[in-house]
Amino acid sequence: MTIQYRNGHSTRRHHRIVVTGGAGFIGSHLCDSLLQRGETVICLDNLFTGSMRNVRPLLNHPNFTFVEHDVREPIEISGEIDRIFNLACPASPRHYQRDPIGTMKTCVLGTLNVLELARAKGARVLQASTSEIYGDPEVHPQPESYVGHVNATGPRACYDEGKRAAETLMFDFHRLYGTEIKVARIFNTYGPRMLENDGRVVSNFIVQALRGEAITIYGSGAQTRSFCFIADLVRGLESLMESPATVTGPCNLGNPHEVTIEAIAREILAHTGSQSGLQFEPLPVDDPKRRKPAIDTALETLGWRPNVSLQDGLRATIAYFALRTATSELKEST
């Protein structure tokens, strides 16, 4: 499926842009979109959860370079750099808990290395932060002013607290060195190229439905999330990056359409026509009960709001996984 990225930046100058985590789900779509806009892209990734499959079509593009690199190590790139999108970090609980100390280091040392690069090059940096910095929220929906409710010692903390520390580093570099920063707090995002085995709910449910396997609902299924389609998110990240220098964020980027996990299961069953049943399993520790972004900041400062409906986004995502199933590429079990 080809996603066309629309944007309002037709009269900009050309930029040389680093995308860390560019071989991952969000990063590879961002690389596609930046190249479509005529930018030069250097993708840095250690392939922990990313895949060369996501960027292979770009390898022959004259404006694209792939560098296998771990952001926990200092980053050296010759020549000018105008922009850095820092997306390097596993995003799914299954993967960020697989190596929790490594995840914390990626968040903290990785962001520090990215900020040092930005400082050396005079580049602007956008940090992919997350709704997880709100933890299990006591305020609903979550505005950027909400300081959060994170358990610092639980199994999700390596990611939540790591991302919080990364935000702190961003703002300290801004205050101390005048680094131009943008902090995007990304809410649950879905779409083609999610890893089928990474444990996230939309990919799990779609793959299970297509295989006729039981749909694994953790807890009662009454917990909520708000799902944003990838094309909307990419447009939001680009708008935030190109917003005036005075706009630092944090800025929530997500779709305020809130659904229960059981409802999303039933939606996916309806779209796929699957006969899979629902199987209820224990709720993971510290699993947030509700999550919905307040997007007034994005609307007012960027004029951004998501415009792909859950139905259309699910159709596109199901089509992607159905194609991969048909070509027998989905071999691993979720």
Point out the residues that are catalytic. Answer: 159
Q: Which residue stretches of 178-295 are H helix?
A: 201-211, 230-241, 261-272
Q: Per-residue string for binding with ligand NAD, 45-84, x by CB under 6 A?
A: xxxxxx-------------------xxx------------
Start-to-end C-alpha separation, the chain = 23
Contact 21/50 with Cβ under 8 angstroms?
yes
Residue closer to ligand NAD by CB (options 76, 246) is 76
Please report whether residue 88 would count as binding ligand NAD according to CB under 6 A. yes
Give all strands (DSSP E) within the chain, no chain letters. Answer: 16-20, 40-45, 64-68, 83-86, 124-130, 181-186, 189-190, 215-218, 224-226, 228-229, 251-253, 258-260, 278-281
Please report whether residue 204 would count as binding ligand UDP according to CB under 6 A. yes
Q: Please name which of 102, 107, 110 lies closest in space to residue 129, comparing C-alpha atoms.
A: 107
Say how far apart CA 283 and CA 277 lie, in whole Å.
18
CA distances from 232 to 4, 121, 131, 150, 200 (A): 11, 29, 16, 27, 19
Please report whether residue 106 would count as binding ligand NAD according to CB under 6 A. yes
Please report whether residue 189 would count as binding ligand NAD according to CB under 6 A. yes
Pick from 77, 210, 261, 318 the residue near ligand UDP by CB under 6 A.
261
Please report whether residue 218 would count as binding ligand UDP according to CB under 6 A. yes
Residue 106 binding partner per list ligand UDP, ligand NAD, none, with a CB distance cut-off of 5 to 8 Å that depends on partner kind: ligand NAD
Q: Encoding tokens for residue 28?
A: 């590879």
Q: Per CB under 6 A, which region of 141-149, 217-225, 311-319, 321-329 contacts ligand UDP? A: 217-225
Q: Give least dist CB 254 to ligand UDP, A.
A: 11
CA-based angle 176:178:183, to the nearest 5? 95
Pick from 21, 22, 27, 93 the residue near ligand UDP by CB under 6 A.
93
- Positions that interact with ligand NAD (CB under 6 A): 20-21, 23-27, 45-50, 70-72, 87-91, 106, 110, 128, 130, 186, 188-189
- Positions that interact with ligand UDP (CB under 6 A): 92-93, 188, 199-201, 204, 216-218, 223, 225, 261, 283-284, 287
